[in-house]
Structure 1
Amino acid sequence: MEHEPLLMIPGPVPIPQRVRSAMVQQAINHRGPEFGAAYADIVRVLKPLFGTENEIYVISGSGTAGMEAAVANFGKDKKIVSLVNGKFGERLQKIGERYGSVTALGSEWGTPLDLPGLEAALEEGAEVVTMVHNETSTGIRNPAEQVGALAKKHGALFIMDGVTSIGGDMVEADRWGVDVAIVGSQKCLAAPAGLAAVSVSQRAWDMIAENRPFYLDLAAYRKSGSGTPMETPYTPAVPLFLALREACRIIDEEGVEQRFARHRRMADAVRAAAGAWGIELFPVVDEYHAYSNTATAMKIPAGITDKDLRGTVKKMGIEIAGGQDHLKGRIFRIGTMGGVGTPEILATLAAVQHALRKHGFDAGDGVEAAAGVLG
């Protein structure tokens, strides 16, 4: 019997059958009430996941489109300070360089952000701060609350990439002072790739750029989204919206708090397995930074190659992620996001444990340690 491969990477994630089925219905009018109701339902479910009362707009484009919309609408000709400690912080920095004057505060990937440097940059007149909340490239969760407080203290706009945390971990955009937040559909929401949702505060609207992009003009999304029925300014990817609406229904049925708890439990199980194996977690955490609850990054033991480890796991029908850029061959990553649970986690950990032992690493019983967390 042929089985589908199990994706245990930091997105895309396995898509529930209900969500897949939602994409194959007959086309509907994207200017009609059926689409408007689906859009409104998506926004209703997303608001508590963002932790916001602000309006949310859904863009037909990947999470990177949402990142660019956030910067391009509010960062034009402004002084931007970009906090960088991983791949996606670098991406926000590069987007910022297209639209404003960027000061990059870089840390080694997977190490704490430079918060004193941020305060200094704000005191010198930085107007916009960009940060990735959950940096899946290294498995670190960055301190959005502390960054938001510094930005607010100095009157700066705070743009937060929540692409891999919203829907899988606690996000409190309003309480943290996040002015613009972004999520991608194929991560913790467990929908197909191709949509980004963006929340926008009133303070952000007050600072919106006059010369905005065309397709990613959030003011156009605001105008279209405020009518009845809700619409998008340009033709949306309707099948993806219908799939996202079904994914949101599943989130509604599970409950927000229960969903966050499940993600935390899965990540705790993976970390417990790493400890039992005798493998070191990659990121460096402190009082403000924490391990990610949606992707765990671990160091590959000496003497084992990336091909040995991930290749063996892949032959067993499970795909885990490697390191990116200069971390290739140095780390491996296991995603714990979306709709997966105990069976998928234990199967993945069993495959990794087998690969480690097969290639000469004397791994302890990480599966048993994880089962103790999940049981």
Structure 2
Amino acid sequence: MTPVLGRRALNRATLERQMLLQRKQISVTAAIEHLVGMQAQTPHTWYLGLWSRLAGFQPPDASALLEDGSLVRIVLMRGTIHLVTPSDAAALRPLVQPLLDRDLTTNTLHSKPLAGLNLSELAEAGRSLLASSPMTAKQLGAALASQFPSSSPSSLAYAIRNLLPLVQVPPRGLWGRSGPIAHSVLSASGTMSLSQMVLRYLGAFGPASVMDVQKWCGLTRLNEVIDSLRPELLVFQDSSGRELFDLPSAPRPSPETPAPVRFLYDFDNVLLSHADRSRVLTEDFYRQERPRRNYAPQVVLVDGFSAAEWDLADGVLSIRPYGEVDWDAVEAEGLLMPGVESVRRVP
């Protein structure tokens, strides 16, 4: 009989691998590699994701790595910007390239202006322009428009974003600083198979279903990849009977393992990388009224599950619980956050 993992068991396994049960004493680059990158759609909120995971973390630690090129921000999983090491960027980008190619034919804003273009020629033109110096999308689109006058500059720049492995160059994303969204072409090398990618995902997010893996990376038809890995994986079921896969050596703590209060940033992958997000998100999370569609809330985990949302402005950390919480524990953790001077509870 296939063993069943309940919601709390999945929660504790995921939190342990996400370094959210206990802060780890490892380097920033080791953490980023273990997590197979962190979504870094915004310039700065991901720093708080590292603070929640690493003992003694200070934002300038990661900022220096971004500035010297030890970390890069690049479009990868789900077509979103991720913070990764250069070698992982080079290895992962070809694997998710089908997602980005498909986007160029289905994107409602850009597919028509790009129709009929020789995309290989466009990619080479973009690579040539970016070889001399980083360029913003506006600069790149304007430069390409003279060679491809039938398309809008914005669509040409968007196509290069999908066709080439562009990294956002500093000072964009540096702690306490920022700058224009300028790009250069990734120069690192690295290789990875789809099977290796799936195994690394399971190490950071498992146990997980095929649909979970696909949700994380944005690819489809990964059943064959999982099937080829079956001999080396453990197989479980969740409470609904869905098949889950895991690495034999991966930690699966007791469901009763204590889970401390943790603050997650708006694009934290622990919230985005499973088709079934109930291992972390509660029904109360989905009941909340939010300012706009597709708004990405910043979540507070209490006992491992979503229990509140937070915002930080001018040193004041505002926390809005969904219901009753251990406020003393929430406040104590919040006061440790970089940049926080005071904490207030809001209705």
Q: Answer whether TM exceeds 0.5 for this pair.
A: no
**TM-score normalised per structure 1:** 0.25
**TM-score normalised per structure 2:** 0.27
Q: Which has the higher contact order (CA 8 A, sep 6+)?
A: 1
